[in-house]
Structures are given as structure tokens and as C-alpha cells.
Structure 1
Amino acid sequence: MYLKTNILLCLLIIIFCQSVFSQICGEYDSINKTNAMDNQIVNDLPEPVVKYFSYVLPNKEKRISEVYLKHSGFFKTSLKSKWIKIKGEQHFLTKQPEFKWIGRTLMFKAVDQFINGKGSLKVRLFSLFPIVNEQGKHVDEAELLRWLGESVWFPTNLLPSENLKWLAIDSSSAKLTYSYKGLEVYYIVRFNENGEIIQLETERYMEKGRLEKWIGKVAEYKEFNGIKIPTHIEAIWKLNSGDFKYADFYVDTIEYEY
């Protein structure tokens, strides 16, 4: 009787171990299939985009789900104003387009965000007195554009999906489009010979009812956790009166969650 009990116990342990092993193998195969599927998707993209992903994601990283970023730099509030020092903290989500940015100077605190399909910009003087409270569809579009453009800091977010498409233009540029909750935005993306994104161009609302050409220039790529991203970004309005560069930021730290 004792021997039969031991044999039965051993059989149960073997069956349990086989079940766990099969589950682990299945999950591993699933991950591999996901990576292989992404590889196939990438290979079907326009030529400069394929080169870009090969450059920034050489190890075929998993998709990033959250990003925590800190930056420093300079900011201008108007064409005639002087540059002021600014520090910012930003949190991004990727499963749905969301972010929150908090920027601080000696004079003001600004909160820029896109949450649940709605954008807003709020600025307080000395962190106390409200001086800006922008909302509306023009802000929704601007904030969705910001989230999409700043995806160069977490490039798995630029892989094609139901909402995100890449369209061929030529050997050094492609059109990036994104649709979400009735909003449609785009960038003309330019690449250098190394495969780096160096410029994003679009039309944005500078204010309600005023659509202007906007350019983001990105440079100084560095590697973080096996991913290459630009650490210097400049934001420029292309106005009839001339260029208005209003932001000059450097990434200080960045952390990813998968």
C-alpha cells in the first residue's frame, strides 16, 4: 500500500511538472511569434522606416508600455522674449495615447497633457495664479501630435498598428499618420543616412483658428537599455515673419516599463 501511494505521488508530480513546462514553453513560443510578427511588419514598411527600426531597435525589444522622462533646457514664451531655463518631468502611456508633462521655471509651472482623448494646457504664475487654461479640439489635436512626435523617445510606439500607419514618400522621408477618437494627425518624417529620424514636420494650431507649420528637430542619439533615442530636441514654428524656435530640450533620464 505504501509503495502504491509513493508511485501515485511520483506520477502526480511528473504530470504537474510537464504541465508547468508546457505552459512556460507556450509563453516563450508566444513571445517569439510576437517578435517574428513584428519583424514581418517592419519589413513591409517604407525603406527609410525599415532602416530606422533596425538602427534604434537592434535587439528587437519588447513593446514599451510606460515611460518616465526628465529633461532640462530652455524655453521662450514669445518671439521677443528671452530664453528661460526650464526643467520638465513627463509620463507616457502607449496602450492608449496618453501623457502628462509638468514643466517648471522660476516664474511659472505648466501642465500639458492628453488623457482620455482630451488635451489641455494649464499654466500658473509662481505655481499659484492661473494665467493659461487652453482646451478644445485644437488643443486635443496639438497634444495628440505631441504624444506621437515624442514617441521617438520610445520607438516601439512607432511600430504600425490599427491606428498608426507609415506611407512611403522617398528614400529619406515617409509620412506618419495616427487616428484616435475622431482625431487625425500626421507628420512628414525625415531620416538621415544612418537611419536616424532627424526632423518631424506637420501643421499645428498655434492658437485657436490659426494653423501654422511646425517642425521638431531631433539629434544626439544615445543608447538606453538597448534602445537608441535622440536626446536633443528643438521645437520651431515656421511663420511668415520667420522661424520661432521656442523649445530647446535635453533628455536627462528616461525609464521604461514593458
Structure 2
Amino acid sequence: MGTTNIYAQVASTLRDKAAFSASFKVMIAIAALLCLIFLMGRLNLYLKFTDEVAQLFSDSKDISSQKFTAKQLDGLPDPVQKYFRHVLNEGQPYISNVHLVHNGLFKTDLKKDWIKISGEEYFTADKPGFVWKGKTTAFTARDMFINGNGRLVVSLFSLFTIQNQTGEKFDKGELMRWLGESVCFPTNLLPSQHLRWLPIDDNSAKLEFDYGDLAVSFTVIFDAQHQIAELRTLRHMGDGPRQPWVTKVSHYKSWNGVLIPTVLEAGWEIEKKYLPYARFAIQELTYNEGF
């Protein structure tokens, strides 16, 4: 092989290496940019969540000076009285606000497989409200009821908003979620000017709640241990018609002196078949700490 050919091959190899090096640097730069955009998206969602929680707490009053007494149970349906005596102690302070952290499983569609999810949620009691943020590897969802307005926002990879749903159906649906999840802070289920318990039978009762122009209700089913086991109602499935919506709660544990369920499952009943789509297990929970 001649000297000229050797030089040509060396030059070609160096050019290929230079081209590869340049391409590699471009790929690294693109990857770094995408990571930065993703992190900025995460930060943006975090700031929105923080702002929504601050808004939730801004009009909330501290009601922890109120105490539960057994006299409040006079006239309530028998299974309801047994429930409160089981989960609350005499003199239990009312719970003004709640912060909980959970993990669990979720379905984005009833026909799809379960995926892992982690979540964080804040509740207020005096003024009905909550803000929830759930994260999976693919999306972040924020569900909320603030100042009488319900809203669901879903972001893909923390960047692209693929759902932003509001309106009367969501106002009522999110108020239902707040009321159903009040099993995690049961002083919120004590009778008041907005909340009523009506008798059904020895193992169930009707729970009614009104707030402004909104009125929601559940059929509440109690187990043999006098614990709430299931809450049933009719709820709009997204923008569609109302369907039976079921919340099942279990694995009760004493938390901060209050007996509450630590596993909550939600599902739809379609053609008499129960189809769960969310199953959460509480990992952390605090009461009356503010924000």
C-alpha cells in the first residue's frame, strides 16, 4: 500500500472520529436539554400544587378547639352511633386540616393494567376542600375542590397538559370525593348544619351533605366491627352519564388517636360488575398542622 493511501485512510478515520464526536456532543446536548425541560416541568407543577394548597388554606378556619362528645350522637341512626363511639374518643378535638401521603395502584382506563402511583393530599374541614397530586412514571394528575370549584388537571411527563376539566359535574364530583375521604378525618362526618345522617337499616345509613348550590349523598355500609366499609353513590363518569361509584375502605389503624382506614379503593359499578381503578395505601398522615 502506498504512502498516499495510508495518509488518506488516516485522514478519513480522523474525519469519521471528529464527525462521531460532534454527533455525540449534539446528542448529549439534546439529552441535557430534554432533562432540563423535564425538570423545569416538574418544578412548574410543584409550584402550581404549592400555590393551590396555599389557596386552599387561605380561607380555612381552625376548628380544633371544638371537642367531640357522645351527646352529639343522640338521635343518630344506631350504626352511625356505634361507628363514632368506635373511632373517636370522648373529647377528641375536631380535625381542621389533614396532610397525607400515599402509594398504591391506578388504572388510566378500566380496561388497562394497574400502574404504580404515589400521591400527596391536603384537606380542609371547616370549608370543604382538598388538593391532591398523584404521580406515575408517565403523568402527573392534580385533583382539587377549592372555593366550591372542582378541577382535574393531567400532565404528560410533567410537560403537556392532556386534561383540564372543570364545570358543574366536576364541582359535584370533587365534593363527593372530599366527603367520601372524610373517613380519614371522621370528626368531619359528625352532624352539622350541612351534614345529616338518615336511617336505612341495622348495617347502613344515608349520609347527606350540602354546600352552597351543591348537594351530595352516600349510602354508607358498616361492617361487624362498626367501621365504615363502603360508600356508594351516583357520580358522573368524566363528562358522561352518572354511574354507581363505590369507595371501599379497610385496614383500620389508630392514627393520631383516631381510628381510620389506611387502604382506600375507588371503582365504578357497570352492569352490576364492580371495576376498581384506584387503590391507595396511606403512608403518612398528620392533623391540624397547617401549611
- Please, what TM-score do these two structures have when normalized by structure 2? 0.75
Offset, 1:209: 4.1
8 Å CA contact 1:112, 1:120 repeated in 2: yes
1:136 aligns with 2:167: yes
Change (3 A) 1:156 1:246: same
Change (3 A) 1:103 1:137: same
Offset, 1:41: 1.9
Change (3 A) 1:64 1:241: closer
* 1:167 corresponds to which of 164, 173, 198: 198
* 1:79 corresponds to which of 110, 121, 128: 110
* 1:190 corresponds to which of 201, 218, 221: 221
Offset, 1:43: 2.6
8 Å CA contact 2:70, 2:85 repeated in 1: no
1:211 aligns with 2:252: no
8 Å CA contact 1:92, 1:99 repeated in 2: yes
Amino acid corresponding to residue 88 of structure 1 in structure 2: G
Q: Distance in 1 between matches of 2:91 and 2:240?
A: 42
Q: SS state of the match for residue 233, structure 1?
A: strand
8 Å CA contact 1:76, 1:82 repeated in 2: yes
5+ residue gaps, structure 1: 1-30
Aligned structure 1 segments of 4 or more residues deviating by more than 4 angstroms: none
The aligned counterpart of 1:97 is 128
Q: Distance in 1 between matches of 2:118 and 2:110?
A: 20
Offset, 1:39: 2.5
Offset, 1:257: 0.5
Q: Distance in 1 between matches of 2:240 and 2:278?
A: 22
Deviation by residue 1:212-246 (Cα, 9 ceiling, x = unmatched): 00111100000011100000111110012733210
Offset, 1:202: 0.2
The aligned counterpart of 1:124 is 155
Q: SS state of the match for residue 144, structure 1?
A: helix
Deviation by residue 1:32-65 (Cα, 9 ceiling, x = unmatched): xx647x4222132110010000010024311000
RMSD: 1.4
Q: Distance in 1 between matches of 2:256 and 2:67?
A: 18
Offset, 1:178: 0.4
Q: SS state of the match for residue 207, structure 1?
A: coil
Amino acid corresponding to residue 246 of structure 1 in structure 2: Y
- Please, what TM-score do these two structures have when normalized by structure 1? 0.84
Q: Distance in 2 between matches of 1:81 and 1:125?
A: 17
Q: Distance in 2 between matches of 1:95 and 1:35?
A: 14
More strand by share: 1
Alignment of 1:1-258 (within 5 A): 35=67, 38-240=69-271, 242-257=273-288
Q: Distance in 1 between matches of 2:139 and 2:213?
A: 33
Q: How many corresponding residue pairs?
A: 225
Q: Distance in 1 between matches of 2:272 and 2:188?
A: 35
Amino acid corresponding to residue 149 of structure 2 in structure 1: K
